């Protein structure tokens, strides 16, 4: 059983940067894939980035080149470095974990990651 706690959200101006963190408690298997999702008011939840058990990242087209996902096993933490932020990046961001190799593909095919955090709000002003 894992518990995920996100932090690092806030308000920034367009073009700014933020780094989100997700601390994982419980038994943090390297075999778990992890991912970031986001949901803006009135919009569907979407996958942003995931990282598999071999630390291979996958990104949504909307964030490629701007966001970087990484994980620190020593500190049981998942990160999302967000640069060149745009107003359309405004959303609640969620950390997830699952034993499936590709969480974004899992979600796109109708699956649902097993573990979710409570979310952290990111607001980007123009």
pLDDT tens digits, one per residue of 19-56: 999 999 876 566 789 999 999 999 999 999 999 988 99
* Torsions phi, psi for 108 (to 5 deg): -65, -25
- Who's near 113: CB < 8 A, 6+ residues apart? 35, 96, 97, 98, 100, 103, 106, 107
Q: Could you give the 3-state DSSP secondary structure of residue 14?
A: coil
Residue-wise pLDDT for 68-114, tens only, equals 999 998 899 999 999 999 999 999 999 999 998 899 999 999 999 99
Instruction: Dump the DSSP string for 17-86.
Output: -EEEEEEEEE---TT-EEEEEEE-TTS--EEEEEE-TT--EEE-TTTTTTEEEEEETTTTEEEEEE-S--
């Amino acid at each position: 059983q894992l518990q995920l706690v996100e932090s690092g959200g806030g308000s920034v101006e367009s073009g700014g940067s933020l780094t989100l963190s997700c601390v994982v408690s419980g038994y943090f298997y390297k075999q778990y894939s992890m991912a970031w999702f986001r949901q803006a008011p009135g919009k569907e939840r979407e996958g942003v980035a995931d990282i598999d058990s071999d630390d291979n990242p996958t990104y949504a087209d909307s964030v490629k080149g701007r966001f970087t996902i990484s994980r620190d096993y020593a500190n049981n933490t998942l990160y999302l470095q967000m640069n060149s932020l745009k107003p359309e990046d405004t959303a609640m961001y969620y950390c997830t974990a699952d034993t499936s190799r590709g969480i974004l593909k899992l979600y796109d095919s109708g699956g649902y990651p097993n573990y979710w955090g409570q979310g952290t709000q990111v607001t980007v002003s123009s």
